[in-house]
Each structure stands twice: as structure tokens, then as C-alpha cells.
Amino acid sequence: MQLFFKEYGQGRAIILLHGLFGSSDNWHYIAMQLSERFHVFVLDQRNHGQSPHSDEMNYPVMAQDVEELMASRGLQTATLIGHSLGGKTAMQFALQFPSRVEQLIIEDMAPRAYPSVYENYMEILLALDLRQYETRQQMEEALASDIPDLTLRRFLLKNVGRDPEGKFFWKINLRGLADNAARLREPIASSAPFTGPSLFVRGGRSDYVRGEDEALIRRLFPSAKIETIGSAGHWVHSEAPEQFMRVILGFLG
């Protein structure tokens, strides 16, 4: 699995991992800010963006994807920053390859199992016949009744591209995501904790990291600091980018 990635800056290595339905593009502002001090790698996880598609998708194999990327770039260690799905990949990587992680930053995600939320969107998108549409606006309108939130519809439709003939196609592997949805909701578990420096940044308006999650976080990541950015929801780095940067730069030192 040779993941697509973008590379910025010089210095200590930082790897950024996006969430479900996302891509490396989601991190552009944060990557540019970090690149003033660090060597930043922004990855498309398997079945997302410009990375290869696969029928197999779970956190151990996605952690292995990151390890292979590091090996290909000659990186012995790196700091990992992951949001949502990418946060679980980063947690799994730290537990699976602890000696390769300098610092770990998790954005609005806990290591617990999550309820079924996004499977419904996957089925809605799979039912959308892209051949019927000539513009993105037409697709937005077609999805409006099932997905009323316009911002969410536009985010999901960022995963639509055009082929050389101008026809729309899904850049993500929707069927692969749907078939592996249950695996992506599973908890992160390990017989041994990751004892390195860890930071969990949660949004004050999000319920992804609850008070009762803190004990599990500290069991697997005993050195964890937990910070809350009150003005943000689940997408902390895009909803409150300046505050997010202050918190993570303070942690990175």
C-alpha cells in the first residue's frame, strides 16, 4: 500500500491523518502553519483521496500503511496528529509501533467503540447515480432530502472527481468503506499502553470525547493531556484553527 501524501517544510517529522470521507486537503492550513518549523507529511489514508483502494480496511492495516510510508521516506520516528478516523489510526500506530512515535496528538476522538452514524451516508451516496448529473449543484440538490446539512453535503461531495471525458466518479472507495464500516467503529485496544507524550484535543461542542472516556484514554495513554477548545465541534482544526494551533504548538514545544 503506497499512500498518496503531500510534503511541506523541514525539521522534525510530523504526519497528519484525516478523518472518514476526508483527504489530505483537509489539513492544508494546519500543514502550512506547521511547515514553518517542521517537516510535514499529509497522507490520504487507504480508500480515500488519491491513495489506492483496498477491500481490507481496519486499524492494524492502516497503522501498517503509515509505517510503510515512514520506511519509504527514511523516517525513524515522527509525531502523529490524527483527526477522528485518523485519530484512531494514530492511536493504533502508537500502540503497535511505540518506538516510532515521538509525540501523539489526537483530535476529538477516543479509543472506544462508536455507534453506527456514517453507514447511512455511505448507502445514500452509493445510491446516487453520478451518471445522471452534469453539475455538483445538481448532486447537492439530489441529496438535500436525505442530508439536509448543506455543509455536510458539500464535504461529502468533495470526494467526487471528473474523468478525462468530464464524467463524475467517486474518488473514495465507497463500497470498501461500507463493507468495512463495522471495523472502523471498533475500539482501539492493546495489552500494553503507549507511555510517550500524548495530547487529546476535544471540541467543547462535540460529544466524541466524553468525560467517561478519560479513564480509557489514560489507561492506554497514561501520559495523556486532555485539552478542550470550547468554541469548536468535531472539526476542531477547521472550526477553531488558531486555538488549535496554539494548543498543539504549546505541546510540541
Q: Which residues are catalytic?
A: 84, 234
Distant-in-sequence, close-in-space partners of 96: CB < 8 Å, separation ≥ 6: 60, 63, 64, 67, 190
User: Half-sphere exposure of 180 toward its Cβ, with a 13 Å CA cutoff?
Assistant: 19
Report the relative pairing of strands 160-162 and 168-170 from DSSP bridges.
antiparallel
Helix (H) or strand (E) holding 201: strand 198-203
Which amino acid appears at position 119 of this protein?
Answer: E
Cβ atoms 105, 201 nearer than 8 A: yes
Helix (H) or strand (E) holding 168: strand 168-170
Cβ atoms 24, 43 nearer than 8 A: yes
* Secondary structure (DSSP) of 68-131: HHHHHTT-S-EEEEEETHHHHHHHHHHHHSGGGEEEEEEES--SS---S-SHHHHHHHHT--GG
Number of residues in the chain:
253
Question: Cβ atoms within 10 A of the Cβ of 32, count?
Answer: 12
Burial 175-192, CB ≥16 within 10 A → b, else e = ebbbebbeebbeebebee
